[in-house]
Homo-oligomer: A and B are copies of this chain.
Amino acid sequence: MATPPAMADQEARRTPPPPAVTPPATPAMADQEARRTPPPPAVTPPATPAATPAVRPKHVSHRGRSAGAKASSNQQEGKVEEFEPFMLMPRGPPPLNEYLDVWDVHVLKRPQELNKQEHHTHLYSSDFLIVRRAQEFQIKITFNRPYKPAEDKFALEFVIGPSPQYSKGTYIPVFPTADRQSLWRGRVVETSDSVVTMGITPSPECIVGKYLIYIGVVTPYGIRRTRRDPSTDVYILFNPWSSADPVFLDDEEEREECVMNELGIIYHGAYDDVSERAWNYGQFEFGVLDACLFILDKADMPLSNRGDVIKVTRVASAMMNSRDDDGVLVGNWSGDYTYGVPPTSWTGSVQILLDYASTKGTPVCYSQCWVYAAVFNSFLRCLGIPSRVVTNFFSAHDNDGNLKMDIILDENGKLDRNRTKDSIWNYHCWNECYMARPDLPSGFGGWQVVDATPQETSDGMFRCGPASVAAIKHGQICYPFDAPFVFAEVNSDVVFYRRHKDGTLDPVKVNTSHVGRMVLTKAVLHDGRRDITYQYKFPEGTPEERRVLEKAEEFGCQREKSSLPKGDVDVEILNLDVRVGDSFNVTLQFTNRSDQRRSADVYITGTVVYYTGVPSGEVVFKTPRVKLEPLQSKEEKVSVRGEDYMHKLVEQGNIHFIATGKIKETGQIITAMKVITMHNPKLIVKVTGSPRVSEEMYVSVEFTNPFKFSLEKVDLRMEGPGIMALKKKEYSLISPGTSITWTETFSPHRAGSTKLMASLDCAALRQVYGETELTIQP
């Protein structure tokens, strides 16, 4: 079969090899290919690839410890013999000419061909065949003559890593005949003249990664192989479409969202004032798949484990952060991002993953929780593991899985900031990925929490999960991995203590509903929110919820169980919609439910906090005396001026208000907490031109400085999945009231609906976003 010209462009082609095993060496080939003449007669088998130790610079010699270094690189290639003799042979080249000879191998790797279409891998920007395991794909082999099934014996050989071995799943021959089958099924789909179309079905547990293909023809003298041809390499991924694969997700819409969608929305802000940022996961962008496999190489993860989705996700949760292992992202919450990109500035994962891989694993600066979760999500979707980013509002943190977050008040009911150390993050992002859990009793498969943000806790938990969401909901936290920790993140109580003069503490109020107030993720296939709180816990106050908490206590989670008298006065801080820079009033609502008078000195503090709940500077402190008539409800307003907080604001513009006080008549401690988020101005993103593939279009990003001060060293970023790679622009100064407009041209290279998203970032103002949706015609 002659290769048509169109295919010649896309597929690296092989000219039929010369018929002898010792072809005349051309210099170019001699450099690139390992080749052996048949060895002299001997009983000792030829040295196998395994004899070449892998390079493991960091460690002491493996001598005495293991028989050859462990295969833990998908980049290194094993040497595969071109001719593997069976037995003693007379000297001189054997008469191989009469046997089957391979002229050409086509892996049918174009996006529009059957393989990528059927395997849902047509979106990957890649020069290689990409398929999913536990599902048949096809390869066309052109022989020197028609294939005779009864006489000819050949095998397609799939090889991965530096020391291919059948028993480790790193060397898999696939046979065309039903009488001889290996771990992967093979069959002849079609024969036409000298061309055989083979169907190959990788096993549902096979290693995920990049395989080399050889074709070995069995002759009486030995196996004769095709030479290494990089153009026929094939990536095999997890397969959520196959019920045999542990990542099987039986819902096409969920798969479209959690595997195929490159566009994400990540929620932040507060549970009653939710904000969102768009994200370009970019799992199909050129180079991203290789970067993801590089991460597993960098983790030194043995290839033989890379078929196990539990192990892959656990290793990756450790590798996303740079703690301990030089992983992908360096965490930084300090506000000083001089030597890197501020976490709020990123709009997608592509640059992060490509930078990490191209620098051979230099951690990328900087990340906070949503960046870890977003890049991890790209990794998971890229390898074919269904995944989503979720946001937990009021997330108990860094607290080692006990179920108490302590807030210390002095004897008068005033907050003691110095002694209050536990932090409740305003929100925290992690990932869920979907898989069976054969390592656990039944019932715990499905969505699993994995979290790549390093926690400041116990045994240095710089990895977390997979932890079964179902197990967390039911308090079955005795199962791996790290379930008690995740349980505490959504279920901790906030305990207010009164500190006595002698240093002891007494609990005075327990808020059981503050932490884990809401868990959100993006809706399936549209841009809405999806409240999945109920997947993590039973409704507050139900008997099921109580039982779950008791169950968790059985497993050692400590809670504050003092029974505290219910008071008769309530205080609440009302919600508020504030633009950054504006002055505003915070309203406290006091309610006296008793038929007697009540009075209290109330301490109200407003403190600028990081999204981690860590305080930065105090902006307001008031101590009003509140007097309540029997059954009276009363409001108290505290005014906050823009000029009082603007210079103290840290990124994400959160002010945490806490009101505390002691009722004089009863000694009851009253408390209320609220995080008010200052809403930032937005970028306006506009697109003009004809939205067609390869047509030139224009995008403009507009911003007006609404403040009374100048913004300096302002960075803008913009990207659009499938239409525009990341672009950056810097403005050295944007004066008060001034507008800027940044215009760029782009040519979409893929049809479909997508977004253009932009961010603006400078030291004085972070987390400014804008986006626009558009649909590209083919």
Q: Is the CB of A66 within 8 A of B423?
A: yes
Is A301's beta carbon under 8 Å from chain B? yes
A67 to chain B: which residues have CB within 8 Å?
420-421, 423, 614-615
- Which chain A residues (541-581) contact chain B, with CB distance < 8 Å? 554-556
**Chain B nearest CB, measured from A547 CB (Å):** 16
Q: Is the CB of B456 within 8 A of A70?
A: yes
A504 to chain B: which residues have CB within 8 Å?
166, 173, 180, 182
- Which chain A residues (37-81) contact chain B, with CB distance < 8 Å? 45, 47-48, 50-51, 60-68, 70
Instruction: Across the interface, name the chain B residue whose C-beta is closest to A323.
Output: B59
Check A332/B400 contact, CB under 8 A, given A216-B502, A218-B502, A315-B459: no
- Which chain A residues (454-475) contact chain B, with CB distance < 8 Å? 456-460, 463
Q: Is the CB of A173 within 8 A of B502?
A: yes
Of B166, B408, B456, the contact of A503 (CB 8 Å cutoff): B166
Of B182, B408, B477, the contact of A167 (CB 8 Å cutoff): B408
A124 to chain B: which residues have CB within 8 Å?
none
| Complexed CA–CA distance, A503 and B172 (Å) | 8
Check A304/B502 contact, CB under 8 A, given A299-B460, A481-B480, A615-B67: no
A166 to chain B: which residues have CB within 8 Å?
499, 503-505
Is A324's beta carbon under 8 Å from chain B? yes
- Which chain A residues (619-633) contact chain B, with CB distance < 8 Å? none
| Complexed CA–CA distance, A180 and B60 (Å) | 58
Instruction: Across the interface, name the chain B residue whose C-beta is closest to A397.
Output: B66
Q: Is the CB of A218 within 8 A of B501?
A: yes
| Complexed CA–CA distance, A406 and B50 (Å) | 15
A425-437 interface bits toward B, Cβ cutoff 8 Å, 1 = contact, 0 = none: 0000000000000
Mark the stretch among A438-446, A514-522, A663-671 that contacts chain B: A438-446
Is A165's beta carbon under 8 Å from chain B? yes
Q: Is the CB of B479 within 8 A of A60?
A: no
A407-431 interface bits toward B, Cβ cutoff 8 Å, 1 = contact, 0 = none: 0101000001011110100000000
**Chain B nearest CB, measured from A102 CB (Å):** 16
Instruction: Across the interface, name the chain B residue whose C-beta is closest to A64.
Output: B333
Of B60, B175, B556, the contact of A331 (CB 8 Å cutoff): B60
- Which chain A residues (224-250) contact chain B, with CB distance < 8 Å? none
Check A459/B318 contact, CB under 8 A, given A421-B168, A479-B479: yes
A172-193 interface bits toward B, Cβ cutoff 8 Å, 1 = contact, 0 = none: 0101000010100000000000
Residue among A65, A408, A460 with max Cβ neighbours from chain B (10 Å): A65
| Complexed CA–CA distance, A302 and B62 (Å) | 34
**Chain B nearest CB, measured from A500 CB (Å):** 9
**Chain B nearest CB, measured from A160 CB (Å):** 14
A400 to chain B: which residues have CB within 8 Å?
302, 304-305, 311
Check A334/B65 contact, CB under 8 A, given A167-B497, A400-B305: yes
Q: How many residues of chain A are within 8 Å of chain B by beta carbon? A: 94
**Chain B nearest CB, measured from A57 CB (Å):** 14
Q: Is the CB of B439 within 8 A of A484?
A: yes
**Chain B nearest CB, measured from A386 CB (Å):** 20
**Chain B nearest CB, measured from A215 CB (Å):** 12
| Complexed CA–CA distance, A333 and B610 (Å) | 49
Q: Is the CB of B47 within 8 A of A302?
A: no
Is A223's beta carbon under 8 Å from chain B? yes
| Complexed CA–CA distance, A555 and B440 (Å) | 6
**Chain B nearest CB, measured from A561 CB (Å):** 14
Is A398's beta carbon under 8 Å from chain B? yes
Q: Is the CB of A335 within 8 A of B50?
A: no
Q: Is the CB of B50 within 8 A of A421?
A: yes
**Chain B nearest CB, measured from A464 CB (Å):** 13
Instruction: Across the interface, name the chain B residue whose C-beta is closest to A399.
Output: B304
Q: Is the CB of B612 within 8 A of A305?
A: no
A63 to chain B: which residues have CB within 8 Å?
333-336, 614
A325 to chain B: which residues have CB within 8 Å?
324, 460
A490-527 interface bits toward B, Cβ cutoff 8 Å, 1 = contact, 0 = none: 00000001010111110000000000000000000000
**Chain B nearest CB, measured from A429 CB (Å):** 15
A175 to chain B: which residues have CB within 8 Å?
502
A554 to chain B: which residues have CB within 8 Å?
438
- Which chain A residues (284-335) contact chain B, with CB distance < 8 Å? 299-302, 304-305, 311, 314-315, 318, 324-325, 330-335
A457 to chain B: which residues have CB within 8 Å?
302
**Chain B nearest CB, measured from A349 CB (Å):** 21
- Which chain A residues (83-104) contact chain B, with CB distance < 8 Å? 86
**Chain B nearest CB, measured from A460 CB (Å):** 7
A153 to chain B: which residues have CB within 8 Å?
502
**Chain B nearest CB, measured from A318 CB (Å):** 7
A157 to chain B: which residues have CB within 8 Å?
503
Is A278's beta carbon under 8 Å from chain B? no
Of B459, B499, B503, the contact of A314 (CB 8 Å cutoff): B459
Of B163, B182, B438, the contact of A555 (CB 8 Å cutoff): B438
Check A418/B45 contact, CB under 8 A, given A64-B334, A332-B60, A334-B64: yes
**Chain B nearest CB, measured from A168 CB (Å):** 7
Check A65/B502 contact, CB under 8 A, given A334-B60, A459-B311: no
| Complexed CA–CA distance, A614 and B69 (Å) | 12
| Complexed CA–CA distance, A70 and B67 (Å) | 43
Of B410, B458, B503, the contact of A305 (CB 8 Å cutoff): B458
Is A711's beta carbon under 8 Å from chain B? no
| Complexed CA–CA distance, A266 and B343 (Å) | 53
Of B66, B318, B421, the contact of A165 (CB 8 Å cutoff): B421
Q: Is the CB of B612 within 8 A of A66?
A: yes
Q: Is the CB of B50 within 8 A of A418?
A: yes
Q: Is the CB of B418 within 8 A of A47?
A: yes
**Chain B nearest CB, measured from A417 CB (Å):** 8
| Complexed CA–CA distance, A312 and B624 (Å) | 48
Q: Is the CB of A416 within 8 A of B167?
A: no
Return 7 A-B CB contacts under 8 Å, by A number: A66-B423, A67-B614, A165-B421, A166-B499, A167-B408, A300-B460, A315-B460
A residues in contact (CB < 8 Å) with B: 45, 47-48, 50-51, 60-68, 70, 86, 153, 155, 157, 163, 165-168, 171, 173, 175, 180, 182, 216, 218, 223, 299-302, 304-305, 311, 314-315, 318, 324-325, 330-336, 398, 400, 406, 408, 410, 416, 418-421, 423, 438-441, 456-460, 463, 477-481, 484, 497, 499, 501-505, 554-556, 610, 612, 614-616, 650
The 10 closest A-B pairs by CB, nearest first: A64-B333, A65-B333, A438-B556, A63-B334, A64-B610, A61-B334, A167-B406, A48-B418, A439-B556, A315-B459
